Amino acid sequence: MEMTRYRRVVLKLSGEALMGDQQFGIDPARLRQYAEEVRAVSELGVQMGIVIGGGNIFRGVSNSTSGIHKATGDNMGMLATMINALALQASLENLGVVTRLMSAIRMEVVAEPFIRRRAIRHLEKGRVVILGAGTGNPYFTTDTAAALRAVEIEADVIIKGTRVDGVYDADPERNPKAVRFDRISYLDVLKRDLKVMDLTAITLCRENHVPILVFNMNRPGNLKRLLLGESVGTLVSEEQ
């Protein structure tokens, strides 16, 4: 078996990533692509937890002008993450990957409740653990949920899959002269307001010494290459 760079990881995916070229919902081709990427890494023996957003189905409202209180909107968003989590679980199991779905909101009919020790045990047994419903609380993003779960399950790193190949000093999709960083500190991310993850997530990672790797999840094979130690994406870690 090939030696991997990390033993236990949390993969953070946005809900929007599942849309593919659609305007909303789940693109079956993109879903299968992600499942195949995860299977390839699982076969290397990497213990993987996955946190997925829900923005392709519902995004929590930023204010109450829509008539929905923000707390209610965020609760709706957390339920949307469970739809994506169930879809990802089904796609992974169709490929023969053993999974467990754990929810921060109790819904025993479709998922186990998130219990730290149980999640770690699943990982130790080689199961891919999908961590749904965010933190279970409104006003927190799924970025923060990924950081929280990474700390709780003692992950070596958070791997954030995006549609660009790392962290840039400007939006590379709008500015062709944007410069990519190979490595950057948590503090520089905060000072430059680079939107890698939200403020709470970055702070939580910084305080608990959890590095973040940002990479292009849409490039086939990238996840495996990253975990085998190739130079893929941008590493966010302690001050340089």
Residue 5: DSSP 8-state: S
Residue 145 lies in a domain: no
Is residue 118 predicted with pLDDT exceeding 80?
yes
The residues near 28 (Cβ < 8 Å, ≥ 6 apart) are none
Is 229 within the bounds of a domain? yes
The mean pLDDT value of the chain amounts to 93
**Per-residue tokens: 128:** 């891919």
User: Is residue 127, in this structure, part of any structural domain at all?
Assistant: no
The total domain count for the chain is 1
Within a domain: residue 200?
no
Residue 53 burial class via C-beta count within 10 angstroms: exposed 0-12, middle 13-18, buried 19 and up: buried
Instruction: Tell me, yes or no, whether 22 lies in a domain.
Output: yes
- Write a three-state SS string for 30-50: HHHHHHHHHHHHHCCCCEEEE
User: Domain of 39?
Assistant: 1-47+62-99+220-240
User: For residue 181, what are the β-bridge partners?
Assistant: 167
Query: Per-residue confidence at 20, pLDDT binned at 50, 70, 90?
Result: confident
Examine residue 176 and state whether it is found in any structural domain, yes or no: no
Work out the pLDDT band at 187, boundaries 50, 70, 90.
very high
**DSSP assignment of 46-104:** -EEEEEE--TTT----SSGGGSS-HHHHHHHHHHHHHHHHHHHHHHHHHTT--EEEEES
Phi, psi of 11 (to 5 degrees): -95, 125
For residue 237, what is the domain's CATH number? 3.40.1160.10
232 within a domain of the structure (yes/no): yes
Q: Is the pLDDT of residue 210 over 60?
A: yes
> Given this model, what pLDDT does residue 176 score?
87
Instruction: Answer yes or no: is pLDDT of 26 > 70.
Output: yes
Give yes or no for residue 212 having a pLDDT over 90: yes
Confidence of residue 37 (pLDDT cuts 50, 70, 90): very high
Q: Quick check: is 154 in a domain?
A: no
pLDDT band at 227 (very low <50, low <70, confident <90, very high): very high
Give bridge partners of residue 132 from the DSSP assignment: 103
- Arithmetic mean of pLDDT, 55-60: 82
Q: Which pLDDT score is estimated for 60?
A: 61
Find how far residue 238's CA is from the centre of its chain. 20
